[in-house]
Amino acid sequence: MTTKISSKWAAAAPRLQSLLRIVAAAMFVLAGTPKLFGFPVPMPGGVTAKAFSQLWVGGVLEVFGGALLLLGLFTRPVAFLLAGEMAVAFFQFHFPKSFWPTVNGGVAAVLYCFIWLYFSAAGPGPWSLDARRRR
């Protein structure tokens, strides 16, 4: 019985891969919307990022790159680009404050970096526009 349950659970891995991509991408988009649109919560001071500033570029990558990952479109190159963005964000903004991500506020940046690195190698899973285009 255990073998049957574990084999059924293992067979769900591709769909769970897609689900992880969808949920992580939706949260990633929400990390960028305050920078560009002040939604769902404004940035400190009630402002949005100044156009073409580094913060604005990060917001654009998060909103539009995250939307592509949400759809599973151009997943591998977009995920690779966003993994790099998160590595830069961590080392430029978080690491100088402290080595420890829990202290420097960089936990999300580290997790997103490795999640996107995973998808750049593994692909989007079956629930994606990339998979639909291959058919």
Q: What is the amino acid identity at position 103?
A: V
**pLDDT above 70: residue 92:** yes
E strand residue ranges, the chain? none
Q: What is the C-alpha to C-alpha distance for residues 66 and 86, in angstroms, rounded to an integer?
A: 12
d(CA 45, CA 90): 23
Question: How do residues 94-118 score in pLDDT, each as one tens digit?
Answer: 999 999 999 999 999 999 999 999 9
Q: Which tens digits make up the pLDDT trace of 1-25?
A: 568 899 999 999 999 999 999 999 9
Tally of CB atoms within 10 A around 5: 9
Contacts of 129 (CB under 8 A, 6+ apart): 71, 72, 73
Give pLDDT, residue 74: 98
Average pLDDT, integer, range 21-44: 97
Are 79 and 119 in contact by the 8 Å Cβ rule? The answer is yes
For 44-86, the pLDDT digits (tens) are 999 999 999 999 999 999 999 999 999 999 999 999 999 999 9
Reference 114, options 84, 135, 89; nearest CA is 84
- The pLDDT of residue 107 is 98
In the predicted structure, residue 124 carries a pLDDT above the cut 70 = yes
In whole angstroms, give the CA distance from residue 41 to residue 30: 10
Average pLDDT over residues 13-41: 97
| Distance of alpha carbon 35 from alpha carbon 12, whole angstroms | 36
Residue corresponding to tokens 């402002």: 47
| Mean pLDDT, residues 23-38 taken together | 98
